[in-house]
Structure 1
Amino acid sequence: MEPQLELKSDDFEDKLCHWSIAEEQLDVIWSRFCALYLPATINRLLNLPVPTDFANAHAWEREMAQPVDFAVSNAWHEMLVQVQHLPYFAKYLRSSKAMAAPGKRLAQVLAERLTEVAKPWDRKMRLASEDEQKYYMAAAGAAGQLLSTVCTHFINKPDRRTVISSEVQLRLLPFLTAWSNRYDRQFLGDVSLRLMVFMSGPVLDEEFKKIRKSYKNWEVCELQDCNVKRDLKMCAR
């Protein structure tokens, strides 16, 4: 039997400390990115280029390069997945400035694109190889999580059809229902359930309100020791 490595409590606390520092440093990097490129990233996501170079990719990755799938799995979408928890993202969605206007239709576009891939992805989650199933479950979960985050910032709108059209909701809800049941207590299932709650209207909004309230200091820079309140998009510290 191979000897097991004994992890002392002090070592464990040190590792947690280093991990926390790494997370904080990463948030600084993401915040700098948002300060400089968030509007441009969202604009590009809403107006995607045509994918071309997937010649050496795996078969399912080449499928993801098709126009419909690529719209939900691309570099710009992934960047928003990474920065969606930052105050910069929240402030952009709440901003009334012209440069943030595209963000007002972000939920609708994300929902439309998820709806387009829901049927083929659902089939692959059930019938494809184990690796592909995990791949598409993760992709759908990430897409749903980003959509849920965006929807959270529009929780004050009682008519959810102004955020996601009724047509798209009707097309997406059957898949969200299936995923919430099939993947109960898993990431995709939890995300699907949150989206169902949002689409149901204000009656079940308490959880979304808690998430929305978790964003503090909306109107100031979140960088430590920085109290700038204006032109946050220009800050690159």
Structure 2
Amino acid sequence: MIVTTNDQLEAFRDCGKAVAKAIRKMGEALEPGMTAKELDDLGRAFLESEGAQSAPEQVYDFPGATCISIEPVVAHGWADARAMKAGDLVNIDVSACKNGYFTDAGATFILPPVTPEKRQLVEAAKRARDRAVAAIRSGASMQVIPQAFAEIAREGGYSIIENLLGCHGVGETLHDKPEILAIPDKRDKRKLAEGMVLAIEPFLSTGAEFAHDGDREWELFTPGCLTAQFEHTVIVSKKGPIIVTL
């Protein structure tokens, strides 16, 4: 989608604010023994209080209002009775629709005790997202996004999950064009255009290059490796990125 009016921009900010607040509130509530269902119920209640609806349920009939991935699940975890344990990596991915517009964001948390290995991975995944976001501006190559991921991954000795998109369009639908691979592609000559709405989400890992299906639909794993994800929805402008999920 291309944002062309200030009303559209404000609508995205409104939806993005609800998504970002939901992630913060859910992250603050994390504690050992809490179940994914309990955390999801909290996220659902907050989105509804903001006048927003769960995008995964609305679009895909997903088994939860949000995606809660408790280690070893790395993405698209179900809202079920599984309980979190001390030391777990927990990814919270929230996407919502409000007044006809969609936004998408995510963050990875660690339940104490926090090991250096997990802390460094989570910090690197966040830096990868933030470096890619900082490079966004109209006229720039779309490849600035995977290039930023690659730089941070090299610096920390991490791998990038290649079979999950590094960026996808979002707007009046949850997943839209453009789609940008998570790893650099010299053949991709596309440019970022003013007003594009993008969800930017690196998955960094301690060695995995691909996420694998589990026994249940949607859930993804990186066997033997830790993986972390962070995501923002941004709007491209001449002056740089407009982050709406803050």
Task: Give your verdict on TM over 0.5.
Answer: no
Shorter-chain TM band? under 0.3
- TM-score normalised to structure 2 length: 0.23
Give the structure with the larger helix fraction.
1
Give the structure with the larger strand fraction.
2
**Bigger CA radius of gyration:** 1
- TM-score normalised to structure 1 length: 0.24
